[in-house]
């Protein structure tokens, strides 16, 4: 059960509500986000919502049967919108394109990528400076200094930054230099990290786990939201199946299902979703048509020389073509 | 290795080629289809194709490293086209829509469906008369009499029929009444059935196995083609994964991959691919954009009363909307 | 609901029961097996079984909530036993070992295998004469002539035969030469084949599908049982998962679960379950300890020369060691 | 490539080796563990090991083609043994049993469990004080105070403690109170956590990821070992598959495969592996027979009242029976 509280609620009004909830068998979780103030009531009993209706301080009451509550569309039917500032908005019905290399490698690479994005009218750049690698001997990213360099250039160009945060201690270091904290597929259920990102006033994009269910992705988002951060989006990036012809199996079904179950924006990552450069384009187009609010993909001036993920990275010519097709399709889809 | 033979090849020329292949370590499989005459050489050695080049009777030689040969695009880069007659063509670059109920149930149902298809300009109707059911106590279809009734009505309306064949003995019975034999997901590796369908001059659509790989689907198609039947198409219908939010996981990746690996037309089945009525539309649109040559889906005048698969079946209003959107998108995609 | 009928039931008594069931909302399926005579009532209503209790001709009534009925342990708690004759019994609490090559290849191979089995005290030999192969160009088995040759030798040695049947038309041909019809993993849901095996008075072993669920395996067994054949056993042979370090993932869990859900004997196939010769032994031992009634595995005098499956086939020395360990463990487990 | 260095190697000798490796195309990673001093050379070239053989300071050189190096059995054929002190040893050929509740809940619960373990001769107790829960509203464990309480009681009884660490900041807090740090299935690829556990002189048990591959589990272990900690063991705890009849699919295959690929001890967790109380016993016995060095399972005085995982938790009677059977089987298996 979600109780949206009135901004001017008094402490004694709140106590009275919490007490009533307790008598009805519900544990109260107080949540204050950038946008509103909630009590999330957790309990198993079926109650008549009207038993709470008269209590002062309550703005709205919603019964939510899902295990996740605040991210559910059962209480908030309108789709959430995330404003990154400077006119960069995610989830408002337009398509958000996010592109860039797997890893930030060099100043020249950043310059070239920004130049490419500007030419194509793209406002959000992706890139990793902390890289989760299955082998301890692999390249692990440029770290915070790389991020600072990138940030300076991106800011100058009016470009927003989305980059992966791998652990709690990096949040503070990265805070001033990213616009969207990305939680990677290996950290979808790193609950401590999610807890801490709930305390931050910065957008967060949670990738679905390598073999995570849709339900688990939403529960992970609930961690961040219930921690106090509503600036949240979800990302479908393919799941692990028995099929070996592609790196992952892009779960195209997840896009309409997530849009139905949650009010949060849904981004699709076709690069990881299929893992094969030649087929990133059709999968990206399919994801848009299936209802994605954003597309995030890997591009590099010379994919064959990329430090990581070169096999699934578009060059700038392919990237420009993809952007053109995405925009063309977006026009048609918007009329549906 | 595939050797396309000259139509006028003599018996002794053929013997001489087979002998040369044997000396080079290759077993010959002679294949005569509706369209051409081939020798498929199976062997592991790397040979210089020129050793065969001078032999009379050979029109073309192709080295194919895939385990499947005749269905591979490594020897036939042009996409195969299937002509069902009366102007109904699959794989020529236009989108083929196939719609109809899961099961053929009654005359009234067939009449209503045909009426709906005619209004929307659809020329191919799907429907099952032999139903594979996991429980022996479930409805197993109207059988051959149902097919005959359906066929009479469909022919009168200029509609083609695609219907599932479950076993060898049904092929002869169904032959006069279907335009496309469908091999269901539980029979993708029913090799005896595939062998027999190779001997038939009628189109065949092979559905991917419930957890079949792309490689296995192509090998199953090779059975039919090497049996002598080139009128073949493949169908992606979702795979079994751990995710429980949808009935199957539509493998959108499979569409561009199959189009790249094989010259056969690729059809997508969004009804089984997601298994949830409300989301059939976005998955169908995504499949088209990803490159499918055809879309096959379930529609019924009253899905809630359907004998089977009602939960994933569109009503005629939803179906008409889907068709309109598919046609609109097709126009855009064709310009890409 | 399962009604076991009295052997001396009259036709009018039966009609009266069927009529009462119909009034209660249940469709009757009459099943006559080698052992008994049943009516299986299929319906969704909850009824008071006593409404049927007084009707003459009924021996026993059982409510079974599972979708599969006759193979469920909800009505038959005692474990079923299959007697192959000559003292070869499956499911009586002792361990049944079945060993032999993947494919029957030559007379010499059959002689050597029988010799090995006799020395180790094994009474059931496995081997394929019809081989389901993913490629149409691969070796497909010696066929019925191979089976006859094998049968002559096996009978002379007092050895029983288990061999795969791939299609309906082979049942009659194979009938006189096999003791157990094996339904392979690609045919677990070949419902026509299951229907026909229900009409046969010979033991049947159904392998779990390549990615079949436990529920589906039991429903497939229901086809055979409800067709009239109680001489049935189930086989766990590994399932398809994302893991690539082994050919399949042996689902050890399935063994105790199947034993709990069904009264049918459960056989384990460690050769396909792991697919790696060196590890067949530990998986076989584990399966015994987990509760399997039988172990079926591949052995060949020279695995490296086997026509198929050599990589997962034990030589006779390894096989003899495995048998010794299985027997040793069996003694201990029997005391538990 | 792994170079084991001589204890008395000088700094200039080491520099010379690193230089030679660099000239040969190998990057050197220096690793100092509790037991030895290594250089791990990472590179793709095939080199003749003798080019390094004469260099002073090298004790042993091993070529390891696996992506993981130090945990591979390609260089260390003898199985690693972990000594927890007070005669509690893992991996020496005897079976290590670890039992206890999912969550540490109360003093009374800890007392009862310790009492049960002492009666059965078990020396290692499991229990969680930091619980990873998919919902933010679920019980998250007693935290560090719970661990201290537990530690006091366990130490008094001569019982060792294995408990999950969820994040880097908990390592220092927990250090004095645990004997084995457990890395949970959701953290198998939390590389920062693995890095930090590499710096600690305390045993670590890494659980396989929820859908982690065997290869990934070994690479995660490589993180800890290459960080400097050799006191490492692996844990198979079931993987996520399509099958819904059990919580997870216990990958029994993984046990012999891990034992073959790595020298580290392998522990099996049947409680999570099957997730159903009634079947924990057969799966535990199977894991022992398949080659596990240890068995870890959940037990509680009243499973139906456990704060978490009650459905897969044994009561003390069942636990005592399991221990007896494990010990009986161990005797037999040891003779093999």
**What CATH number corresponds to the domain at position C113?**
3.20.20.70
Report, as an integer, the average pLDDT of A222-233: 96
Q: Find out whether B72 and B40 touch, Cβ atoms under 8 Å.
A: no
- Inside any domain, residue C71: no
Any chains having at least 3 CB pairs less than 8 A from chain C are A, B, D
Cα-based distances in Å from D73 to B108, B240, D82: 70, 35, 16
The two three-digit tokens of residue A263, written as one number: 């009010």
CA distance D319 to A61: 47
Chain B neighbors of C215, CB-CB under 8 A? 134
CA distance C335 to A262: 55
Q: Measure C241 CA to nearest chain A CA, in Å.
A: 5
Chain B neighbors of C194, CB-CB under 8 A? 136
- Inside any domain, residue B129: yes
Q: Between chains, do D241 and B242 touch, taking CB under 8 Å as contact? A: yes
Domain shared by D97 and D150, yes or no = yes
Domain shared by B184 and B265, yes or no = yes
The two three-digit tokens of residue C177, written as one number: 């030469």
Q: Between chains, do C285 and D289 touch, taking CB under 8 Å as contact? A: yes
Kindly report the pTM of this predicted structure.
0.95
The two three-digit tokens of residue A87, written as one number: 């006119």
pLDDT of residue A44: 77
ipTM entry? 0.95
pLDDT at B46 over 80: no
* pLDDT 10s digits, C50-76: 778 789 999 999 989 888 999 999 989
Instruction: Check CB contact of A295 with chain B, cutoff 8 Å.
Output: no
Domain shared by B43 and B102, yes or no = no
Report which of A286, A191, D173, A134 is spatially closest to residue B292, judged by C-alpha positions. Answer: A286
pLDDT at C162 over 80: yes
- Inside any domain, residue D48: yes
Of D211, D240, D242, nearest to B240 by CB-CB distance is D242
Contacts for B162-166: CB closer than 8 Å, 24+ residues apart: B162/B98, B162/B124, B162/B125, B162/B126, B162/B205, B162/B296, B163/B126, B163/B127, B163/B128, B163/B129, B163/B130, B164/B128, B164/B130, B164/B131, B164/B132, B165/B130, B165/B193, B165/B197, B166/B130, B166/B132, B166/B193, B166/C191, B166/C192
pLDDT of residue D94: 96
Chain C neighbors of A242, CB-CB under 8 A? 211, 240-242
pLDDT of residue B267: 98
CATH number at residue D40: 3.30.70
pLDDT of residue A65: 86
Instruction: Check CB contact of C214 with chain D, cutoff 8 Å.
Output: yes
Rounded to 10°, the helix B143-157/B168-175 angle is: 40
* pLDDT 10s digits, D128-151: 999 998 899 988 999 999 999 999
**B contact residues 224-283, partner D, Cβ 8 Å cutoff:** 240-242, 244
- Inside any domain, residue C312: yes
Report, as an integer, the average pLDDT of C222-241: 97
- Inside any domain, residue C77: no
Q: Between chains, do A240 and C240 touch, taking CB under 8 Å as contact? A: no
The two three-digit tokens of residue D37, written as one number: 């001093």
CA distance B192 to B176: 21
Chain D neighbors of B244, CB-CB under 8 A? 244
Domain shared by A323 and A248, yes or no = yes
Report which of C191, C57, C78 is spatially closest to residue C28, judged by C-alpha positions. Answer: C57
Q: What's the sign of the alpha-carbon dihedral A234, A236, A241, A246?
A: negative
Q: Give D206's DSSP letter.
A: E
- Inside any domain, residue B72: no
Q: Cα-flanking dihedrals φ and ψ of residue B284, to 5°?
A: -65, -45
CB within 8 A of A146, min separation 6: which ones? A104, A129
* pLDDT 10s digits, A81-98: 999 999 999 999 999 999
Assign B53 a pLDDT band (cuts: 50, 70, 90).
confident
Domain shared by C315 and C239, yes or no = yes
For residue D54, the enclosing domain spans 2-62
CB within 8 A of C168, min separation 6: which ones? B167, B168, B169, C192, C193, C196
- Inside any domain, residue D46: yes
Chain D neighbors of C219, CB-CB under 8 A? none
Q: Number of folded domains in chain B?
A: 2
Domain shared by B156 and B196, yes or no = yes
pLDDT of residue B47: 79
Domain shared by D41 and D162, yes or no = no
- Inside any domain, residue B70: no
The two three-digit tokens of residue B153, written as one number: 């009505």
Domain shared by C200 and C258, yes or no = yes
Whose tokens are 């563990």? That residue is D33
Domain shared by C126 and C200, yes or no = yes
* pLDDT 10s digits, A1-46: 899 999 999 999 999 999 999 998 899 999 999 999 999 999 877 7
Domain shared by D87 and D52, yes or no = no
Q: Between chains, do D166 and A209 touch, taking CB under 8 Å as contact? A: no
Any chains having at least 3 CB pairs less than 8 A from chain A are B, C, D
* pLDDT 10s digits, D24-33: 889 999 999 9
Domain shared by A237 and A315, yes or no = yes
Domain shared by A87 and A50, yes or no = no
Q: Cα-flanking dihedrals φ and ψ of residue D136, to 5°?
A: -70, -10
CA distance D255 to D234: 10
Q: Between chains, do D40 and A137 touch, taking CB under 8 Å as contact? A: yes
CB within 8 A of C277, min separation 6: which ones? C303, C311, C312, C313, C314, C318
pLDDT < 70 regions, chain D:
none
The two three-digit tokens of residue B122, written as one number: 């659809």
pLDDT of residue A45: 76
Residue A332's closest chain B neighbor by CA?
B329
CA distance C325 to C90: 19
């Amino acid at each position: 059960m979600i109780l949206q509280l009135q901004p001017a609620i008094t402490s004694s009004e709140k106590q009275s509500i919490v007490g009533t909830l307790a008598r009805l068998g519900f544990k109260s979780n107080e949540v204050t986000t950038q946008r509103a103030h909630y009590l999330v009531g957790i309990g198993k009993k079926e109650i008549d919502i009207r038993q709470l209706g008269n209590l002062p301080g309550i703005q709205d009451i919603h019964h939510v049967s899902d295990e996740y509550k605040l991210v559910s569309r059962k209480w908030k039917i309108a789709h959430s919108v995330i404003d990154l500032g400077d006119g960069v908005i995610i989830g408002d019905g337009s398509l958000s394109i996010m592109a860039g290399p797997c890893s930030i490698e060099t100043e020249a690479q950043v310059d070239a990528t920004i130049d490419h994005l500007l030419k194509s009218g793209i406002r959000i750049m992706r890139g990793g400076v902390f890289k989760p690698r299955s082998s301890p001997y692999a390249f692990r990213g440029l770290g915070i200094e790389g991020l600072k360099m990138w940030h300076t250039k991106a800011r100058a160009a009016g470009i927003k930054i989305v980059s992966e945060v791998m652990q709690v201690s990096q949040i503070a270091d990265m805070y001033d230099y990213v616009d969207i904290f990305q939680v990677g597929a290996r950290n979808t259920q790193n609950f401590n990290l999610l807890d801490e990102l709930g305390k931050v006033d910065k957008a967060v994009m949670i990738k679905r786990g390598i073999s995570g269910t849709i339900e688990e992705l939403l529960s992970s988002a609930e961690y961040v939201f219930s921690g106090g951060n509503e600036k949240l989006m979800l990302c479908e990036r393919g799941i692990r199946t028995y099929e070996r012809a592609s790196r992952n199996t892009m779960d195209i079904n997840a896009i309409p299902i997530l849009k139905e179950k949650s009010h949060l924006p849904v981004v699709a990552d076709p690069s990881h979703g299929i893992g094969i450069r030649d087929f990133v384009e059709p999968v990206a187009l399919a994801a848009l048509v299936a209802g994605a609010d954003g597309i995030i993909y890997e591009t590099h001036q010379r994919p064959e020389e990329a430090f990581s993920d070169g096999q699934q990275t578009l060059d700038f010519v392919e990237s420009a073509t993809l952007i053109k097709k995405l925009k063309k399709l977006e026009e048609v889809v918007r009329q549906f």
